[in-house]
Amino acid sequence: EVKTEKMGFEAEVSRLLHMMVHSVYSDREIFLRELISNASDACDKLRYEALTKPDLASGEFGIAITADADAKTLTIEDNGIGMDRDDLIANLGTIARSGTANFVDQLTGDSKKDMQLIGQFGVGFYSVFMVADMVHVTTKKAGDEHAWLWSSAGEGSYEIAEATKEAAGTKIVLHMKDDAKEFLERFRLQKIITTYSDHIAVPITLAINGGDKKDDDADEPKVVNEGSAIWTRPKSEITDEQYAEFYRHVGHGFDDPSVTLHYKVEGMQEYTVLLFVPTKQPMDLFDPARKNRVKLYVKRVFITDDSDDLLPGWLRFMRGVVDSQDLPLNVSREMLQNNPTLERMSKAITKRVLSEFEKLAEKDTEKFEAIWGEFGAVIKEGIYEDFERRDAILKIARFKSTGVDGWTSLADYVSRMKDKQSAIYYITGTDAEAVKRSPQLEGFRAKGIEVLLLSDAVDDFWLQMAPDFEGKPFKSITRGASELKDIAGDDKEDESEKAPEGELAKLTALMKEVFGDKIKDVRASDRLTTTAACLVADDSGMDMHMERILKAHNQ
Ligand code: ADP
Ligand code: MG
């Protein structure tokens, strides 16, 4: 007798499922792309495991798709890694991606906006419930004895029971909804597979059973995809749409890539790079784990998508594949740490990415600024943690400023500096709007001196590490007596911030008494034009915003 357990999806998943199934999703066909993508990942994983345990894999990897018009089922079967009971609960009972909670918080209840957001997040496996009202997943993990059956109607709960299955891998049977029967037709399925999954590196076969078999060989599975790894093909043979589909497969994204970088390196080292910059921020971009998602292959065998050494953390928004010819095939994930071959490759790729950004910034400023708007906050992390790249990053970095409406580069800021101005002035804060309105800026505005407006959390940190840009020091405007007068070229005797006299002296004396220890001094200043008073930091002291950050961390 088979024991069946009934379990609830995570609350968040339930909400998401409900939303997906009950909103009209225009691209329902993407469920098949998601299933094929997962099946291909599963084959990749087993191929890797089999490097050290050859017994695990038997024969060629493949994905078989079978439609049965009579039973109204669509079956997707792979001979990949499979899942055990724990995997099933962890992977199909939870949306297997960090940032879910954060994502669900952003849902508004407005189905149109939410669908866009769901599209951006990607829901992977769950998209099956757009077309199926019952889903059975029979799966056996490579090397295990037991097989499991996972079933769900996508309505808040799922069941797991023991099952029987000969070979390792996963078989997913979709019982199609009445309004989704189009996905049982050969022509339709073939079109979807070539549109979305032509780049998949394992063969995908399609067979149609039942219905009126006009096709002579209707039961014969036919290979319907190209079946070779896209990055191994010549650039000239790959369309933008194929690149975009591959990006969505490797990157688990739903947007289009904004930059596609595909090249091959030969000589001392041999490897192929196919990298993408997304258009939109991935949901897990600001996760503390700062995980890289670029997949490392060795001679077309997937090794890991979890290497911290393949690309620096400040490029973690990049997606794609790096395929090395030089690393040993049996390289373990542990061996990859501090591996000199990997290190050299990583350096070269990082350099190439930076130079692509530099070119783009020159050639297509608007496009580059859009990328900077999404990922600049991450790239700036490189200024403080990647000493070697600091200058290169400062060169492409873009900032908001009092001097321009959009973005400015540091070089452009410097070109607009006043004759007597020697520093690059900035103000930091947590809120872009508040920073823009800060009374600290008044004097600078009045005298026409440009100030960079920095409001990313990372800004205070890189400023500690980067003392200057091409010899021009960065200087916070919240610090002590500023050189406003000198720069603006006022010839009048410098009266700023000297000891107040008369009525003003009485006022400042009173203020000092009232504030006591809390302040160091009260001075008259001409840095303000409309506001009566503002707090400034001591020249030798710390920038005010930095002080607040450190206080918040009890430093
Ligand atoms: P993602 O692919 O982005 O991780 P999915 O919702 O598509 O998210 O899949 C969730 C997880 O379920 C996968 O990461 C994988 O661990 C597991 N999974 C899904 N399909 C299969 C399959 N055919 N074989 C093995 N594992 C699978
Ligand atoms: Mg997936």
What tens digit of pLDDT does each residue of 155-195 get?
Answer: 878 999 999 999 999 999 999 999 999 999 999 999 999 88
Which atom, in ligand 1's list, is nearest to the CA of 122?
3
Which atom, in ligand 1's list, is nearest to the CA of 169?
24
CA of 221 to the centre of ligand 2 (A): 24
Q: Which ligand is nearest to the CA of 89?
A: 1
Residue nearest to atom 15 of ligand 1 (CA): 91
Kindly state the average pLDDT of the residues 2-30: 71
Token pair 């107040």 in the structure block, residue: 500
Residue nearest to atom 16 of ligand 1 (CA): 91
CA of 253 to the centre of ligand 2 (A): 10
Q: How confident is the model at residue 328 (pLDDT cuts 50, 70, 90)?
A: confident
The letter for the amino acid at 367 is K
Whether the pLDDT of residue 481 is over 90: the answer is no
- Beta bridge pairs of residue 139: 148, 170
Kindly state the average pLDDT of the residues 76-84: 97
Q: How confident is the model at residue 203 (pLDDT cuts 50, 70, 90)?
A: very high
Distance CA 536, CA 441 (A): 12
Substitution site in 125, 129, 197 for ligand 1 pocket (most atoms within 8 Å of beta carbon):
125
CA of 392 to the centre of ligand 2 (A): 36
Which atom, in ligand 1's list, is nearest to the CA of 81?
25
CA of 548 to the centre of ligand 2 (A): 42
What's the mean per-residue pLDDT of the chain?
86
Query: Strand order of the sheet with strand 398-401?
Result: 408-409, 398-401, 452-454, 424-428, 472-476, 468-469
Substitution site in 36, 91, 97 for ligand 1 pocket (most atoms within 8 Å of beta carbon):
91
CA of 229 to the centre of ligand 1 (A): 20
- Which of 291-300, 394-403, 511-520 has maximum average pLDDT? 394-403
Query: Strand order of the sheet with strand 63-68?
Result: 4-8, 157-163, 147-152, 132-140, 169-176, 73-78, 63-68, 204-209, 222-223
206 closest CA partner among 93, 66, 414, 103 = 66
Distance CA 105, CA 102 (A): 5
**How many CB atoms are located within 10 Å of the residue 508 CB?**
16
Whether the pLDDT of residue 212 is over 70: the answer is no
Give the per-residue pLDDT at 325. 93
Whether the pLDDT of residue 287 is over 70: the answer is yes
Which atom, in ligand 1's list, is nearest to the CA of 82?
25
Q: Which residues line ligand 1 (CB under 6 A)?
A: 34, 38-39, 42, 78, 80-83, 91-92, 96-97, 124-125, 170, 252
Half-sphere exposure of 546 (CA within 13 A, CB side): 19
Residue nearest to atom 7 of ligand 1 (CA): 124
Give the per-residue pLDDT at 228. 83
Distance CA 347, CA 88 (A): 38
CA of 175 to the centre of ligand 2 (A): 20
Q: Which ligand is nearest to the CA of 127?
A: 1
Is residue 4 helix, strand or coil?
strand
**How many CB atoms are located within 10 Å of the residue 492 CB?**
6
Q: How confident is the model at residue 139 (pLDDT cuts 50, 70, 90)?
A: very high
What's the pLDDT tens digit per position in 392-416? Answer: 999 999 999 999 999 999 999 999 9
Residue nearest to atom 19 of ligand 1 (CA): 38
Residue nearest to atom 5 of ligand 1 (CA): 124
Kindly state the average pLDDT of the residues 417-440: 90
Element (H, E) at 545: helix 544-552
Q: Which ligand is nearest to the CA of 45?
A: 1
CA of 359 to the centre of ligand 1 (A): 37
Substitution site in 41, 130, 140, 158 for ligand 1 pocket (most atoms within 8 Å of beta carbon):
41
Give the per-residue pLDDT at 199. 83
**How many CB atoms are located within 10 Å of the residue 218 CB?**
15
Which atom, in ligand 1's list, is nearest to the CA of 252?
3
CA of 319 to the centre of ligand 2 (A): 15
Quote the percentage of the chain above a pLDDT of 90. 50
ipTM attached to this prediction: 0.99
Cα–Cα distances in angstroms (integers) from residue 504 to residues 257, 263, 398, in the given order: 60, 69, 42
What's the pLDDT tens digit per position in 378-397? Answer: 999 999 899 999 999 999 99
Which atom, in ligand 1's list, is nearest to the CA of 123?
6
Which atom, in ligand 1's list, is nearest to the CA of 39?
23
Kindly state the average pLDDT of the residues 353-363: 97
Which atom, in ligand 1's list, is nearest to the CA of 38?
20
282 closest CA partner among 250, 304, 309, 310 = 250
